[in-house]
Amino acid sequence: MAGVRPLRYLARMTDGVANAKRVAAFAAADLVESGMCVGLGTGSTFAFVIERLAERMRDEGLELSGVPTSEATAKLAKAAGIPLRDLDAVERLDLAIDGADEVDPQKNLIKGGGGAHLRERIVASAAPELVVIVDDQKLVDVLGAKFLLPVEVVPLGWRHTARRLAATGCEPKRREQNGGPVLSDNGNLLLDCKYDGITDPTALARELDSLVGVVDHGLFVGMAGRIVVGNSAGDVRLIP
């Protein structure tokens, strides 16, 4: 692929996908410089960023602070000794790093597999760049052909919101766990929407933005900066 710089990182795990996530995360964590305030994403890939940042704080004396995108990340970061700040206590972030569920050739994303996409969007919007970390299986030609699009909706009247969503060409399903609805950190419901491929993410994002009852959706259009892609062999490439 044109414009892609190959890097090589040492493979440290045997599990293929976990290894791919880990090498991408480690490469992105190495972009952080001392003194930075960093937007801290959410998910299993991002957990490896925290691991690497903690390692660098210990080994190199790296100093940073972070703004978490979820309660889960706040807990992990605190345990790793990363100082946390409230978003409103900082003027701007220096960088945001986060995972994604799918990435298309235009660097549009589906996010929200962990249900944190609202906070992820807000935090990423406060940074000059959102660096996205993925394993290579998440690179797709068309978004939404495999992965369901997460949509966060207000609990009040959610069945009506689901019908409005269905009218955009999907089958929405309420996310559930242990027989009950999953709530986001914001106390809202998550509807996972099955589209038959999202051929025009810009138009769909605009349509979803206008729906009553929708708080936010997982389509991140034109927001991604560099994409750091890892594979199971431990190779990392950067899509600029």
Output DSSP code: residue 17: H
The verdict on 98 binding ligand 5RP (CB under 6 A) reads yes
Q: Which of 80, 103, 116, 221 binds ligand 5RP (CB under 6 A)?
A: 116
The residue behind tokens 């220096």 is 94
The residue behind tokens 């052909």 is 145
SS3 of 15, please?
coil
The verdict on 99 binding ligand 5RP (CB under 6 A) reads yes
The verdict on 217 binding ligand 5RP (CB under 6 A) reads no
Q: Which of the following is catalytic: 120, 152, 171, 176?
A: 120
**Which residues are paired to 198 by β-bridges?**
143
The interface mask with ligand 5RP, positions 23-62, x = CB under 6 A, is ------------------xxxxx-----------------
Q: Which of 49, 82, 101, 158 binds ligand 5RP (CB under 6 A)?
A: 101
The verdict on 114 binding ligand 5RP (CB under 6 A) reads yes
Q: Is 176 a catalytic residue?
A: no
Binding site for ligand 5RP (CB under 6 A): 41-45, 98-101, 111-117, 120
Catalytic residue numbers, as ranges: 120
